[in-house]
Amino acid sequence: MERWTQDAACTEVDPELFFPVSALGPGAAQTQRAKEVCARCPVRAQCLGWALETRQRAGVWGGTDEKERATMLRRRATAGSAAS
């Protein structure tokens, strides 16, 4: 377990909130609620960094959903290949 997780706002919330079944309908509302928890989290940046580093494909991490993280990773890859 990463040390920063002890300070995470999500430790006081049901973990299932961060893993909606769908991105549509009730799942979209659930994702928004999870992101609201992340918005007040003191370790949001560490969480997002860890999720990107470990390529978390499911759930809300660091205030981002799967699609947002995938976009970030693609941009990193594009920037990295452009710098080479």
Question: What pLDDT does residue 28 have?
Answer: 96
Distance, in Å, from the CA atom of 62 to the CA atom of 58, rounded to the nearest integer, reads 12
Distance, in Å, from the CA atom of 84 to the CA atom of 82, rounded to the nearest integer, reads 5
Question: What pLDDT does residue 83 have?
Answer: 67
Numbers of helices and strands, H then E, in the chain: 3, 0
Question: What pLDDT does residue 11 have?
Answer: 95
Distance, in Å, from the CA atom of 54 to the CA atom of 22, rounded to the nearest integer, reads 22
Q: Are 63 and 50 in contact (CB under 8 A)?
A: no
Hey, where are the domains in the chain? Answer: 3-83
Question: What pLDDT does residue 61 have?
Answer: 98
Give the DSSP letter of residue 30.
H
Question: What pLDDT does residue 79 have?
Answer: 84
Extract the residue ranges of the chain whose pLDDT is less than 70: 1, 83-84
Distance, in Å, from the CA atom of 59 to the CA atom of 51, rounded to the nearest integer, reads 10
